[in-house]
Amino acid sequence: MLNEEVQAWVDLGFSEEEAITMANATKARNDDVEITDDDSITSFTDSIKRNMK
């Protein structure tokens, strides 16, 4: 049984292996995003680097 996100990629025509890759890539990308109160999106990693200076 595939999880919901992977199944959505399969439904779009991707193979199961491609769907898993896409789901993981999407999750990794979303985990590295910081949304600020000024509606801009900054990479969380970049934000941390800036704050460490």
| Structural domain total, the chain | 1
C-beta atoms surrounding 48 within 10 Å = 10
Segment 2-28, tens digit of pLDDT: 788 889 999 999 999 999 888 888 877
Range of the domain at 9: 4-52
Query: What distance in Å separates the CA atoms of residue 16 and residue 21, rounded to the nearest whole number?
Result: 9
How are beta strands 33-35 and 41-43 bridged, if at all? antiparallel
| Global confidence as pTM | 0.52
First-to-last alpha carbon distance for the chain, in angstroms, is: 46
Higher pLDDT, 40 or 3: 3
Mean pLDDT for 18-41 is 70
pLDDT(41) > 70:
no
Is the distance from CB of 24 to CB of 7 less than 8 angstroms?
A: no
